[in-house]
Structure 1
């Protein structure tokens, strides 16, 4: 067993490491101090790069009762100019900007991957064919209800050739850090048009004949309510660890679609990012 003399240098080292980590976290302010908004610029103009990996345990597809693990790249390439950040994150290219300290605007063009029959290991999608891939435009705004982004409102519109979706929510941030670390939680309501609803839950005549499932046509309107939780922290000067949990509970005629084997979609993910 270590005595107090041999343990003391170890204890001091841990203390210094923790202190340096805290100093690194408090030494700058992100564009918006929310863990769900990536900002690798550390408050400085110019280029910033964060690269890492994330692992998710999630529903195999929307409405699925099958779950599985998936490993995805994480991070982004960003360029900051004052209160504007231009970014490339995976399959999305966009811009976000802060206005009047309380308005955050975000606009992006993203690639949408379609659902595949093989997403169901148990064959529940057999005969439905692969979903269409496409490009979508994502417009988002957040408004702070106080001076420190403790509470905020969220609005988002997703427009694509496969339909349109809208999201409205309210969020709360825990902790008082200004560098994007800590945690937050948000409650959202989601709406979609008929094209977007049928993209994932509708079954046309051809699909019905091939799959044996009842032909189904859905209308637009209220889609679901959801709960999102985000966490982010530093474990060293340039290393971030992040986590996310998402729950979406379907409502309306989505629950009656033969594709819907669960009336919810869920996802839990963790990962790390190194900031260059």
Structure 2
């Protein structure tokens, strides 16, 4: 064996040994989806990311008014293997990866409710403030393969103000396993009558006070929606994220006097510092 052949064989052997290690090192996120915060860098224990985002969005469900809003971003997390427990703003939850293709998530959050002052044009005058309440969110995503390129998603939101269900399909663009890249979801949304009336119903008392027609919503199909998520990891500490959402309401929802628009939309961008 000459020196050149020996050198090539040694280099090839070294590369073959390093490749699995590098592939494993790149897989730092529990699930490589830009929509899910994971600040663990693949390590068990505590992690923290804090940041700020700015959104341009409809003022309330069914509104034709838009406004800018600043929102905190990030979460406090504790990871143990394929499980992450997190506290993010007004939500406390858990997510876990099972059999490489199932992502399960459960959280308890707080719904602030709609305020009469949310409409700067006075279109909610006489309706009063909506009820606040605790919500429980249960979600499952089932990937078609363990590369998490395409998946099915189902989510149920239940609480003091009714129930909502979401079912759809998602796709991830990009090859990294650190949670960066692009993600797109297309979903159908359903609600029961209590949840529908929370956003679009008008009681007899509200009708007298506002001048809007009394409206009693029934449950069923609510909307078809699409959302896009983006995450770019600049370095070990800094991340940039972006998101866009569009939801087109069903004919029943559009018939409510509260629905001044046929859709809800929002776009947002922000940054997170990972400690």
Check whether the contact 1:94–1:108 (CA below 8 A) recurs between aligned residues: yes
Match of 2:29 in 1: 30
Note the alpha carbon deviations across 1:209-256, whole angstroms, 9 max, x for none: 000000000100000000000000112221000000000000031100
What residue number does 1:8 align with?
A: none
Cα displacement (A) at 1:120? 0.2
CA contact (8 A) 1:222 1:252 kept: no
Mapping of residues 39-50 of structure 1, within 5 Å: 39-50=38-49
What is the rounded CA distance, in whole Å, between the counterparts of 2:146 and 2:43 in structure 1? Answer: 21
Mapping of residues 100-115 of structure 1, within 5 Å: 100-115=99-114
Larger radius of gyration: 2
| C-alpha distance after superposition, 1:62-103 (max 9, x if no partner) | 000000100010000000000000000000000000000000
Whether the 8 Å CA contact 1:63–1:261 is kept in 2: the answer is yes
- Consecutive unaligned residues of structure 1, counting only runs of 5 or more, are 1-22
SS of corresponding position for 1:148 = coil
SS at match of 1:73: strand
Mapped contact 2:106–2:137 kept (Cα < 8 A): yes
Q: For residue 186 of structure 1, give the secondary structure of its aligned residue in structure 2.
A: strand
CA displacement 1:91-127 (0-9 Å, x = unmatched):
0000000000000000000000110010000000000
How far 1:28 sits from its partner (Å)? 4.2
CA distance in 1, matches of 2:234, 2:75: 19
| Alignment correspondent of 1:169 | 168
The structural deviation recorded for 1:183 is 0.4
2:34–2:180 Cα contact (<8 Å) kept = yes
How far apart are the structure 1 equivalents of 2:125 and 2:107?
33
State how far apart, in whole Å, the 1-side matches of 2:74 and 2:47 are. 10
Q: Is the 8 A contact 1:64 1:265 kept in 2?
A: yes
Aligned alpha-carbon RMSD (Å): 1.0
> TM-score scaled by structure 1?
0.90
**Would you say the 8 A contact 2:26–2:176 is kept in 1?**
no
Q: Is the 8 A contact 2:26 2:177 kept in 1?
A: no
| In 2: Cα distance, 1:129 partner to 1:77 partner | 35
Q: Which residue of 2 aligns with 1:193?
A: 192
Q: Give the aligned partner of residue 77 of structure 2.
A: 78
2:159 is the counterpart of 1:160: yes
Return the TM-score normalized by structure 2: 0.90
Cα distance in 1 for partners of 2:146, 2:198 equals: 40
* Equivalent-residue separation in structure 1 for 2:211 and 2:158 (angstroms): 31
Structure 2 counterparts to residues 99-248 of structure 1, below 5 A = 99-248=98-247
Work out the CA distance in 1 between the residues paired with 2:196 and 2:45.
41
**Structure 2, unaligned stretches of length 5 or more?**
1-21
- Cα displacement (A) at 1:29: 1.9
Detail structure 1 runs of 4+ shifted over 6 Å in the superposition.
none
